[in-house]
Chain A
Amino acid sequence: MLTEAAIREQIPRLRRYARALSGDREAADDLVQDTLERALSRSALLRPGGDPRPWLFAIMHNLFVNDMRSAAVRKRVALDPEAMDGATRDSTQDGLAMRDIDRALALLPGEQREVVLLVGLEQLGYAETAKVIGVPIGTVMSRLARGREKLRALLNDDGVATPLKVIK
């Protein structure tokens, strides 16, 4: 049986993923809180002894997709390449050394960003990622490839935004 303690243990990782996904501290923590509330009302679904992470990420994915649809929470969704000049975001927010990687992530479509982060940051396997977001593994691979190629086009070797490619 999944205990509250087991879920609480996952909060830092959920926050990390949500922060990378949304790029905004407040929106990320709201997403984490909503995920926890849904998770606790459904904890009986989890098999005993199962790893709660993919399941929690799946709940968060669903909420994230809903948010993107309603376009209420997502500042990032509306960002266009011109926003890369940094006017809309403080690159040192929360004291984190945010490089341009953060802003480049914001320019990926949500579905590519999710895959790049689940695989690269959360280090889920491809099959696990496919399960979390509910798509075939081939779709995961093509989103990963497109997302990484786009990041490569946006950033130079030092992780600095490449102005010529960014400012159209």
Chain B
Amino acid sequence: MSVAPVSEERLHAYVDEQLAAEERSAVERHLAEHPEDAERVLAYRRQREWIKQAFDPVLAEPVPARIRVPRAGMSGSPWRRVAAVCAWIVFGAALGWLIRDQQHAVVPAAASDTELVRRARMAHVVYTAESRRAVEVAASQEQDMIRWLSKRMNAAVRVPDLSQFGFEALGGRLLPGADGPACQIMYQNAAGKRLTIYLAREPGGARPVRFSDRETVHVVFWSNGTLAFAVSAELNRDELARIAAEVAISSPAPS
């Protein structure tokens, strides 16, 4: 008597004990008639056992002192505070070099919101709420997107690699700016949090980095003399600063 074939998925679900009783007995009937599958199931079960035997002892090890739970929020330890300050110094140095103007203070002060910040924050709030239509062009077509946005913006648009912060690019879109085109590049992390970089043409003098925390979406913004940048996310100041530093470094001012 033949038994309905059992899929590969079912065999694994059987190994992992993720089947209901009824499905389980169906798989068992199948195994009774297919010794080669029965042998595989047995092998997979053994593997699970060996893996557990090899690594379960880690559970019983005392947690080494070098593993510490940082305090929630920022600055759990002096080291973290130092790291945060360093990030700002690097950011400041990068921008100082970019804007070639030592007069500017690079320590950001909470600034009154400019037109740029208002637009960037609005675009962030509106488009990060979209699940399927968050971007116009997906990051999978990154080269196309970069060409297109650079052409429309009439400036070199970059898509910085923010994977070291856990953020992957989703894609971008073109937007109306205060006087001309603007664009937004959106990122997302594993937890689903989104971050946007808003770019608008802003010829004239470079402007130093500043920080806006008037609303839950924080914004770090500056201008390199050709493009104005606004990096927005619901992240704390230090985290956003580190990310903004990476954005600034990967988008140098035109020479």
Q: A16-B55, A102-B54 are in contact. Are A62 and B68 (CB under 8 A)?
A: no
How many interface residues does B have (CB within 8 Å)? 48
**Residue of A58, A99, A120, A126 with most chain B CB atoms under a 10 A cut-off:** A120
**Complex CA–CA separation, A109 to B189 (angstroms):** 23
**Complex CA–CA separation, A151 to B48 (angstroms):** 11
Q: A16-B58, A33-B66, A62-B190 are in contact. Are A152 and B40 (CB under 8 A)?
A: yes
The answer to whether A12 touches B54 (Cβ under 8 A) is: no
Q: Of B5-13, B105-113, B152-160, which stretch is located at the interface? A: B5-13
The answer to whether B58 touches A145 (Cβ under 8 A) is: no
The answer to whether B193 touches A33 (Cβ under 8 A) is: no
Closest to B64 in A: A29
The answer to whether B54 touches A101 (Cβ under 8 A) is: yes
How many interface residues does A have (CB within 8 Å)? 57
The answer to whether A15 touches B164 (Cβ under 8 A) is: no
Which residues of chain B come closer than 8 Å to A148, judged between CB atoms? 12, 43-44, 47
- Interface membership of chain A positions 104-135, coded 1 if the CB is closer than 8 angstroms to chain B and 0 otherwise: 01000000000011011101011000000010
Check: A36 CB closer than 8 A to any chain B CB.
yes
Check: A20 CB closer than 8 A to any chain B CB.
yes
- Interface membership of chain B positions 62-94, coded 1 if the CB is closer than 8 angstroms to chain A and 0 otherwise: 011011111111101000100000000000000
CB distance from B106 to the nearest CB of A (A): 23
CB distance from A13 to the nearest CB of B (A): 7
Check: A139 CB closer than 8 A to any chain B CB.
no
The answer to whether B190 touches A61 (Cβ under 8 A) is: yes
The answer to whether B163 touches A66 (Cβ under 8 A) is: yes
Q: A19-B58, A126-B13 are in contact. Are A105 and B51 (CB under 8 A)?
A: yes
CB distance from A39 to the nearest CB of B (A): 9
Q: Which of A1-21 contact B (CB under 8 A)?
A: 4, 7-8, 11-13, 15-16, 19-20
Q: Please list the residues of chain B having a beta carbon within 8 angstroms of any beta carbon in chain A.
A: 8-9, 12-13, 16, 18, 40, 43-44, 46-48, 50-61, 63-64, 66-74, 76, 80, 163-164, 166, 189-193, 235-236, 239
15 residue pairs A–B, Cβ–Cβ below 8 Å: A4-B69, A11-B67, A20-B54, A29-B64, A40-B76, A45-B191, A65-B163, A69-B163, A119-B16, A123-B16, A125-B18, A134-B190, A141-B12, A155-B50, A159-B46
